[in-house]
Chain A
Amino acid sequence: MSQEQPTLIGARVPKLDAPLKATGSATYGHDVRLPGMLHGRILYSEYPHARVLRVDTARAQALPGVKCVLTAADAPDTRFGYGRDNVPFKNQVVRSLRDEVAGVVAVDPETAEEALRLIEVEYEPLTPVFSPEEALAEGTPLLHPDRGSNLFQTYHYEHGDPQAGERESDVLLEAEYQLPYVSHACLETSVVVAHFDPHGRLTLWSTTQIPFLLQRDLAEALGMDGSQIRIIQTAIGGAFGRGLDIYPFEPIAALMARKAGRPVRLAFTRAEDSIAAPARQPARVRVRAGARRDGRLTFRDVSAVLDIGPYVSWGAVTPLVMMETTASLYKVPHVRFHTDCVYTNNPVTGAMRGYGNPQSTFFIETMMDRLAEAVGMDPVEFRLLNANEPDTVTPQGLVITSCGLKECLQAVAARADRAAGESAAGWGQGTPVSPARDPFHGAPPSRRRRGIGFAATLNVGGGARIYRSDGCGATVKVDDFGHVTLVTGATEIGQGSETVLAQIVAETLGVSLDDVSVENSDTDVKPWDVGVHASRTTFIAGNAACIAARQARDQIFETAAEMLEVKPEELIARQGKVMVRDDPERSIPISKAVRRRHFRQGGRIVIGEGWYDPPTRLVDKATYKGNISAAYGFGAQMAEVEVDLDTGIVRVLRLVCANDVGRAINPMAVEGQIEGGAQMGLGYALTEELLVQEGRVLNPTFADYRLFTAADMPRIETIIVETDDPGGPFGAKGVGEMGGTPTAAAIANAIYDAVGLRLTTLPMTPERVLAALDTHQPKDGE
């Protein structure tokens, strides 16, 4: 019966907040202005490692327009952050050039900035530590002496018998990888506005991704009770993991507001954001892997060292994800994974989209390519042979329910033979290309090589339990006019969660999308949620919204059943009406049923409540095994590249991306996630690197930190694979991070196909490619 078919699920619905954002009427963090608001600025350390001997604020204090100056003396002596190793202002030792030493509150940012220059700080430089190797060496100064070591944490994982795996291998390969610092490069720099009301309750306007954890962490950092903190999330101009922890500027803003007795806004400049906000950890990784002659994988052995900088954030948990790719992408009987997270006096690092997965997928999938070649198999055939399958449990304990890995690989491979020339016109190429505009500067065809490369990806798609709850709450209210309000714990960071959740609720209640609004920005109003990360929102918040909407629907059905004189089970909700399933002519508007329920003696309002915490568990502390996600997403990409043999320029002509998303609730939003992920993956592969020398970021502006711009983008072809996950709302799984995870590997493999070079350092800049070409120039016809 056609009326049973979902109508809004799978609909290409534009994002609900698109008009607001396109017309500039959305209120971002930078737009928040409160009456009497003051401006804060932070003074950072001049040394990567030093003792702070004296901070003299007298001259700054005396500058007209300055309201107050803060130092460590103004902050409670409690540590915060994932590693409990951070404080708002560093009172004894600074451990990086981004360390906060003092702060100024003034009538405008310029005055505050000027006052910073009047603060005198006396330092006693300490020996800095700029590499993990150095940090772990005997006799190196300790960043946090009370911890007894610069080694923050080690992750060691094994399954099977890696040594036996080596013996079973007919081919055994080894490679070392060097992965760079990468910036989130959010369009909106970090910003927060803090205000204490006369009762002493703190409100924070924030772009955080974890409002409830921040509420708790902030309470701890400020010595307050969580109930005294309210977090209001503004429209968020990019997050990508930057907002996945508490960072010092947040308690600092609160301390400033408290001391000044007025609202205080703290907004980073771009350069400040590149330096003081966390970056993706750089890593050095050694990989060994083997296969049998028949193509079956035998073992993987990965050792990585992560430079986490001076303080630990949730980003230090990224090895869990690197481990997951290493242990569970493809069927590998024997795996060993070892990672050391090491303190240094380099920039601070944190979580970033993919959370370790772009890194691990790069080394695992380039290794897969080499193994395929070593056993003489086609790279796609080789991957298909070893691919994960539905309804299996990996040795790591991942319970794989739906799995479209093979379909994704086959889908991108099917596009491999299509000649690139015809379809390669990228966005920047609407007009004919003149020789001067040609990215290859008119290189003769004999000096160019084309190649294609593949890579696949596995990512959590049903939440990821890294905290004791991976849950999300929701309520759905239906008012007398039939208008539906979803209040969800989930956070919108531009990924389109509002739209997708509204679709789920509208579909469940049988109303149109226009009848649904979403409230998701105020901890005083919305129910708890762990935060927006791990591609979890559609799955987790979607399930919670679905539960709440069903409960509201049941309430409506109860009343409608009385009115229509049938049993509730005989009813369906469609087109804003409650209908009798077998006799759709018999119906009443939902609003009418709500009013009937409401306006009577002993009446009730329609409000449904949903809480969804997936049936998963934290990994075992000793073995790191366990099913942390209720579903897993899969994907594959094919990159087609052209390499200029004389300049080392690599141009991606096409990127074909297939993703198993369970079910695409909104295909347009899925495509947006994949394209956006690809943009970040392309940058990771080819252009993006925060250059750090002796702890200093050398390229903190967008002039020198090179993101892919619209004009640089190749054509992105997206293919949606649907596997209808049994646990997801309407069968959906997460897709938020997968768009960018396999990109660097696919491009590296394509470069190999083009010129026979295996590159293991990212980004693969023209200079690096040319240097490699100098050691190996492909022969004609190669």
Chain B
Amino acid sequence: MTDQIPGRRESTAVPTTGPAGVPAIACTALVYSFGSTRAVDGIDLEVEAGSIYGLLGPNGAGKTTAIRAITTLLPVPPGMVGVFGNDVAKRRMEVRRLLGYVPQQLSADSGLTGRENVAMFARLFDVPRRQRGERVTAALDAVGLREAADRLAKTYSGGMVRRLELAQALVSSPRLLILDEPTIGLDPIARDSVWERIEEVRGATGMTVFVTTHYMDEADQYCDRISLMHRGTIRATGSPQELKASLPKGSGTLEDVFRHYTGDTLEEPTSGEFRNVRATRSTAARLR
């Protein structure tokens, strides 16, 4: 990793097209502990550029922690996580410029309109003023919020807030879109509409999408590749078809795959700790 002189890296700050074959995300033996809780316990991941990659696991599996390590939010030592070849420990700002991130909770600013919410992120990602209006509108269009753009976000439904957040993440033209449980707490129709937007944008732009979920059916339907995560480790990786074919009887649902590799079911949360429950609840509570 060549270190550059600060202030003189305009030309290299956004390596949008890395050398062919550079993975969008590469994690090697990623570990992270909160005190004595080892939330992520040595995971290896390689996310191919241009794919939709699903990280599946029950509550408390460590999905959010892994995402927070990839998005530069948690301090990890060098050599553990790379984003398009940029080490997150060393090239924080460069990595952030490549990322669009939608956290697990609904996080649009309810006191602003949809358009203002998106424009804020355009400013924070240095979208030049000339292009700002156009790009904000394009992002809102891409998620189907053109009509509602000038209403306050507090009047939005849960599904609309999720799509607004998608627009916020898209306005900076990220190469890698990271979505933490994008459909949690949404009704089936809103879930489908969020996924349709993700697929459309990926189809139109070829960006890489890294998504966590605990809905097996979604992962099956929309992801090119899946890793099953359980108690901080990855138990199996492959395309949905490969994983299902790897079952002893040769077929089944992803649900069966999960049970096979973890000896556990998804319905029984392995970690019903208060903070998990609270996070889910507060997500649900904001969906009015």
Q: Is the pairing of A and B real?
A: no
* Interface positions of A (Cβ within 8 A of B): none
* Interface positions of B (Cβ within 8 A of A): none
